[in-house]
Structure 1
Amino acid sequence: MSAFQRIIFEKDAMKYKMADEILSKAKEEGIETTFLNSNRYISEKGQTKKDKYFYGKQTMIVGVRKTLKFQTCKPSAHYQLPLVSGCIGQCEYCYLNTQFSDRPSVYVYVNIEEILDQAAAHIQERGELTLFEGAATSDPLPSEVFTGALKRTIEFFGQSEFGRFRFVTKYTSVDDLLQLDHKDHTEIRLSVNIPSVIKAYEHKTPSLEKRIEAINKLIGAGYSVGLIIAPVILEENWKDHYGELLSILDQVLIRKEKVITFEIISHRFTSRAKNSILEIYENTQLPMREEDRKFKYGQFGYGKFIYTETDMASMKAFFQEKLGEMGIAHKILYII
C-alpha cells in the first residue's frame, strides 16, 4: 500500500518525463491525482494545523525545482542536492517541524537532469572531491518508487570522477538500488534509534530490525554505509538502552573491510518546533523543558535548545567508549 493518498501535479511538471512516470505509477496503484492550473500548491486541506499536518504527510506534490542555487550543508557535505523536500514520516521530534510545519507535503522535483547539471557545474568549479547531501530537508527513499530520482542520481555520481553523493533514510525499500553501478561513489546512511524511541516518537517508520536488514543489504551490494543515531534522548537509563543498541549493531551487521561511519546527534528543539509539536501531538512525551537545556544559536540564524555542557560531555564520553569497544570497522564523524 502506498504511503501517499493523493498526488498533485503542478502545471509545468507535465513537461517532464518523470511526471509521466509518476502519473503512470499513480494510476497503477489507484492513487487520487489532481492537476493544477498554476505552479503553486497553496495549502493543505483542514481546519487546524493538526489536520493540515496529517493531510500533508499523505500528499505528494510534483513540481519543477525553480531555483538551482544549492545551499551549503555543513557538516554533512559541501552542498545540498534538492531532489525531494519533506518526508512521509511522522516523527514527533523532527527538525522539519521548524522549516515545514505549515507545508508538510512531500515535494518531488521532475527536472532531475537540470539539477544534476548544476551539480556537475559545482564539481567542475571546485576541481576536487565534492560531496552532495540528498536528504538535508527530506527522506528521499519513500518517493523513489514513483520518481526513480535516487537511481538516476546514484548512476550520475557513479560516472563522476570528483562527485560524491550521500543521503540518509529511516526507510528500507532499498532493493531497487542494490544492482546499480554506483562505483562506491554513494554513501547511504540509515537513521537508527533504540526501540522505545522508535515506538514512542517515530510514527509511520520501519522497526529497528527492518532498518538493520536494509543496512546489511546495502553492505552486501558494496555501498559505503553509515549509521546516524539520532536523536539521542538522555532520559532515565539512557546508557543501558543505547549500550544495548550498539551491542545489537555490533552483533548483526555484516563484517566488511569498509569502514561504517557513525554520526551521533543529541535531541534538540527550537521554540517554533516545540509549539508545532505541542499543537500536532498534544499528548507528546518528548522532553522539551527549556529550563533543563542550554540555548544556542544555529548556523541557519535561529536558536535551539540543546543539552547542557555536562550532559553533552557525558554523552560524548559514553559513545566514544562504547563505539571503541565494537568489533566492526568504524569511524565517528561527529558527536553533537
Structure 2
Amino acid sequence: MYDLDVDELALDGPREVAKIAQLVPPLPDGGAVLALQATVLRGGRGLSVGMALHHAACDGACSTRFLHTWAAASSGAVAPAPPVIDRTLVKDPSGLCDAFIRAMASTEKKNDVKMAGDKLLTTFTLSMENIQRIKDVVRLAAAGKGGAPPRCSSLVATFGFIWSCHQRAKHDDAASNGGGGDSTYFIFPVDHRSRMEPDPIPDEYLGNCVGAALNAAPKDRLATAGAVGLFTACTAVAAAIEQAVRVGSIRSPELWWERVREAILSGDGVLAVAGSPRFRVYGVDFGFGQLAKVDIVSVARTGAMAVAESRRSSGGIEVGISLPSDAMRRFQCCFHDAIAWLQCTTPLNK
C-alpha cells in the first residue's frame, strides 16, 4: 500500500520526484531488461503500474506496444499484431554498430546522472489552439523575412515552444554564472522502420530502430521572448527532422555519431526528448478505463522533456519537465508568459 492516492499523483502541478520514483521498480542485476511493479494506492482507490526498461532491448515504440498488448490481454480487447522478432531484418551495410562501439570506447566513461533530492516533475499542456497559434507565429515570422516557412507540424511547434521556454528559463542564471558557448542543442529520436533501405521494416519489429535528429540554435535568439525565440527554435527543429529523414542520411554512421558526440561534449546544454504523442499512452486500458496520468520518471535523471498526447478530450500535447524547485518556478513563469503572449497577440489562421 502506498501513502498517496490517485488524485495526488494525477496532478499536473509540481510533484516531488522522490515520491513518484518509489512507484518504478529498479532493474535487477544480472542483465535484466524489464521490470514491472504494481502498487495499490492509499485507501485502495487506485493502482499504479510502474515499468523500467533497458533500451538495449527495444525502443519506446516497442515498449509502449508491449503495454498496449498487456492491457488488451487484461481487458479482453483485441490485441495489437504480435511482435516481429527477427534482428536480421535490420541491415547494417554502413557499419553503424561498429561505429558506435568504437565511438563509445573512445569516449570517457561518466557516472550515471544522479537524481537531485529536490527535483520536481510538472506536466504542461499545449492545447490544439496553442499549437495552431505557434504555427501562425512561425508562418508570419517567415513571411516577414521574405522566405518560405519551415515545415511546422504540431510536434515541431511543441518542441520549438518548450525549447525556447527552457532556454529562456535558464538564460539569466547562465549569464550570471558566466554562461557557456553561443549555441545549445536539441536532440530527439526518429523512428526509421519505414525508412530502412531497400526494404522497410514492419511497425511490429521488436528492437531498436531509431536514429537521432539534432540541431543547434543560438542561445540568445532562442531565449528571446515572442516571435524571435519561437521562430528560431521551430526552424532549427524542422531542419533537424528534414536532415534525419533525408534519403541516405542513415548511411553516414561516423558523421551521425560525431554530431551527437559534439552536442553532448559541447558543455552548452542539450535538451532531449522521451516519448511521443504517436505512442497513444492514454489509449492503454487495463479494463479500468482511461489512465489518470502517465509520467516518464527517467527525465528527472536525463533532463529530457517527456512527450505524450494530451489526456484531455480537447486534444493537444502533454510535456513533462523535471527541474529543481527554483528552476521549475522560472520555467513555469516563462511557459505561462509565452502562452499569454500567444493568446493576446496572435490571430488563429483560419
Question: What TM-score bracket applies, with the shorter chain setting the length?
Answer: under 0.3
The structure with more helix, counted as a fraction of residues? 2
Alignment TM-score, normalising by the size of structure 2: 0.26
Q: Which structure exhibits the higher relative contact order, with contacts defined as CA atoms closer than 8 Å and separated by 6 or more residues?
A: 2
The structure with more strand, counted as a fraction of residues? 1
